[in-house]
A and B are shown apart, each in its own frame.
Chain A
Amino acid sequence: MTTYEGLRDSYKQILYNFLHHKNEQSLYEAQQFSKRVIEEQISPEEIVSIHLEVIEDLYPNLSSETRKSFEILLEVMIGYGMAYREHQILKNKQLELESEIDVAANMQHTFLPKEIPQLADADIGVISVPASKMSGDYYNIVKDGNEYIAIALADIIGKGVPAALCMSMIKYAMDSLPEQLLQPGQLLASLNRTVEQNIAANMFVTMMYASYDPATHIFSYSGAGHEPGFYYDASEDRFNELYAKGLALGISRDTQYREYQQSLSVGDFVVLFSDGVTECRNGDRFLERGELAELIRKYQDKTAQEIVDNVYRELENWQDFQLHDDFTLLLLRREV
């Protein structure tokens, strides 16, 4: 017996029972039947045809008007059948695409540092979460032989796959810069030339690049159109804006970037983030910078990693677990 014949027999049984006993049991069986035919990928016009065959079997004296009316129903359902089959194919295509994106997302993950360098006198924490599977945020934290720390945080405008492709370009461009740690301003100027040559006119990248010298406790930084961070002054228990003037990368070839310096005392910290953090929103209400500062303050007695993790968790919850943009939050605190 073919699947089709099996289904027809089941349908005949259900219909017969219903017509003779008219009870909810048969309707329940019909509902289960519909699940089965969907599983078997039987299209709607086939169900109409089964129905007609079965009813002709059960009532051989069906009026010719009734029988003919099924031709109209069949004709109408053919269109649904075509749409149904197209839907099946598109669904499979979507699964394929999704698994491709999973592979790409895994690849992309390897672009980020595997672990955060540990320092003798400073504590660093970072969290980076893409809005969908792939991220347009990039960060890197490296330490050289002199405990000198370099921090990069870039945000590609847009999100998803296009932003992720651009993000990989930033990663390779950074890798191809000279080994010795450049000063933040120089580094951005050099990176900007590469980005400008390789990026579409409608795309750009904002970035914050910083270095921290543990010998002098000087935090030097430059910015390319990036969301300002925070500098927390422990002696005054105050959050100040960490702003760096500069054009976003990829806009103009010969942009120069000014370098700023901030001396860190014990307990002071700096916070850098992508605009996915400040674009957190609940309904129409965006997160305000002051609220972000308060959130950080709430957890400030914890380790740097715990602070960023907790802030992320609260914001994730606050916006009903819907990230609107890639989210990266990084904190460096001087401990001794």
Chain B
Amino acid sequence: MTTQSSVEIGTEWGIVSARQAGRELSKGLGFSSVDQARITTAISELARNIYLYTKNGVIGLEVVNDGHRQGIIITARDQGPGIENLRDVMVDGYSTSGGLGAGLPGVKRLMDEFDIQSNPGEGTLITTTKWLR
């Protein structure tokens, strides 16, 4: 597994750069245009969470190969306030109330695998994967 790229999200420009990197990578891997749009949207949502709720953080993009298929791993890491109750932010309908975890269940559904680790005061790490069909 090699890190393909890593984008600092400090401004809204960072979000666009992360999207751009994600789109190019997924296109290069041969994802369909719908899946490209899904991967990009997932990156966009994760980057926006970093931009809106933490001072700065990093979106990482990696190509992964499990021996049978290729995929793309997105990581979103920040040193922000962390999330008090993960169960709350992963519940559908929560995002519409405009809380911390804007759209996390949505991101989870756009992708194939999703993992979130967060401790209050220590920041959050989200790892999510999309496999090439």
Q: B33, A52: Cβ atoms under 8 Å? A: yes
Q: Does A181 contact B (CB under 8 A)?
A: no
Given contacts A49-B32, A82-B110, contact A75 B93 (CB under 8 A): no
* Chain A binding surface, main DSSP class: helix
* Chain B binding surface, main DSSP class: helix
Q: A82, B33: Cβ atoms under 8 Å? A: no
Q: A82, B34: Cβ atoms under 8 Å? A: no
Q: B37, A90: Cβ atoms under 8 Å? A: no
B28-42 CB mask vs A (1 if < 8 Å, else 0) is 000011100110110
Alpha-carbon distance A75/B41, docked complex (angstroms): 8
Alpha-carbon distance A71/B33, docked complex (angstroms): 8
Shortest CB distance B97–A (Å): 13
A45 to chain B: which residues have CB within 8 Å?
34, 37-38
Given contacts A82-B109, A82-B110, contact A90 B32 (CB under 8 A): no
Shortest CB distance B122–A (Å): 29
Q: Does A107 contact B (CB under 8 A)?
A: no
Taking CB as reference atom, which chain B residue is nearest A92?
B92
**Interface residues of A, CB < 8 Å — how many?**
17
Given contacts A90-B92, A93-B92, contact A82 B32 (CB under 8 A): no
Shortest CB distance B43–A (Å): 12
Given contacts A49-B34, A71-B33, A85-B109, contact A78 B92 (CB under 8 A): no
Taking CB as reference atom, which chain B residue is nearest A73?
B37
Q: B37, A82: Cβ atoms under 8 Å? A: no
Shortest CB distance B16–A (Å): 13
**Interface residues of B, CB < 8 Å — how many?**
14
Taking CB as reference atom, which chain A residue is nearest B105?
A86
A70 to chain B: which residues have CB within 8 Å?
33
Tell which of A78, A86, A90, A93 touches B38, judged by Cβ atoms closer than 8 Å.
A78
A78 to chain B: which residues have CB within 8 Å?
37-38, 41, 110
Taking CB as reference atom, which chain A residue is nearest B93?
A90
Within 8 A of B (CB), among A73-96: 74-75, 78-79, 82, 85-86, 89-90, 93
Q: B92, A49: Cβ atoms under 8 Å? A: no
Q: Does A46 contact B (CB under 8 A)?
A: yes
Alpha-carbon distance A66/B31, docked complex (angstroms): 21
Q: B33, A74: Cβ atoms under 8 Å? A: yes
B85-128 CB mask vs A (1 if < 8 Å, else 0) is 00000001100000000010110011000000000000000000
Within 8 A of B (CB), among A36-74: 45-46, 48-49, 52, 70-71, 74
Best-surrounded residue of B32, B33, B93, B105 (most CB of chain A within 10 A):
B33
Taking CB as reference atom, which chain A residue is nearest B107?
A82
Q: Which 9 A-B pairs have the closest CB atoms?
A: A82-B106, A49-B34, A78-B41, A74-B37, A89-B92, A78-B37, A85-B109, A86-B92, A45-B34
A contact residues vs B (CB 8 Å cutoff): 45-46, 48-49, 52, 70-71, 74-75, 78-79, 82, 85-86, 89-90, 93
Other than the known A49-B32, A71-B33, what 16 A-B pairs have Cβ atoms closer than 8 Å?
A45-B38, A46-B34, A48-B34, A49-B34, A52-B33, A70-B33, A74-B37, A75-B40, A78-B41, A78-B110, A82-B41, A86-B93, A86-B109, A89-B105, A90-B93, A93-B92
